[in-house]
Structure 1
Amino acid sequence: MSCSSLSILLLVAVSSTTALLGIGRTQSVAVSGRLICNGQPASGVKLKLYEKESTFDVLLEEATSDSNGQFRLSGSKTEISTIDPKLNIYHKCNYNGLCYKKIGITIPDNYVSSGKTPSKTYDIGTLNLANQYTGQTTDCIN
């Protein structure tokens, strides 16, 4: 095993066990917004709030947009460093493929709160899913 592989393995082991050992601090995040497709509310769109990790992202909450296209997700995690939250949106607006279009939105660090309950919410505003977004991909396993 190379030195870099061993370093990565050690980093993963340490970050995985810190929460188990109660090391770190509890942090929380919330995100909200409204989704539309061709001017109409995009209801039933799958949304997932993650905390990005070096190996596998940790799911904080999963939901779908309501009949008006609105949503709010929140979650918390104990971590030594500041959590790195992101929102994934899986939709089929103007898309007839077998899989889903996926838009990933990184939530800024200044919206991460101390404690289990978020003190502020990152509002993405109204997002038109008919638009093309930088980094948009196709996802079949969501």
Structure 2
Amino acid sequence: MLELRTQFSTELERTREQVAVAQERASATERRALREIDQERTLRQKAEQAAVQVRAQDAAVASAEARARQHAERDTLRLQLAQAQQALADGQAAQDALRAELEMAVRRAERADAEAAATRRLAPARRRAPAARTKFKPGPA
């Protein structure tokens, strides 16, 4: 019986050692799993931060593109405004030239009217002789 006890004690000791080794392995496996979970969590957080940065960059690019379109539109409108202002200035210059021509024409017409009135006053009053009778035009009878 003593032999059985020693054998049992040895097996018990071996089993305890195996249990301790198994517990150590399980503990190491648990620590490794926790490290992996933590690494995955860290990687997910980094990926989320990268996604936020990418979205922010996309928004910045979209904003820059919109600003570029607005600047291009502004430049186009400025060019159109300058052309319209030039056309207006040209039109005003043409209007001024026509106004000057009109004033000269009015002055010439006034001078011609004045000359005609003076000529009428100075010229002797003439009476018209009655028109002679013709075959086709009856004259005064």
**TM-score category, normalised to shorter length:** under 0.3
Please state which structure has a larger fraction of its residues in helix.
2
- Report which structure shows greater RCO (CA 8 Å, sep ≥6): 1
Q: Could you tell me the TM-score, scaled by structure 1's length?
A: 0.15
Please state which structure has a larger fraction of its residues in strand.
1
Q: Could you tell me the TM-score, scaled by structure 2's length?
A: 0.15
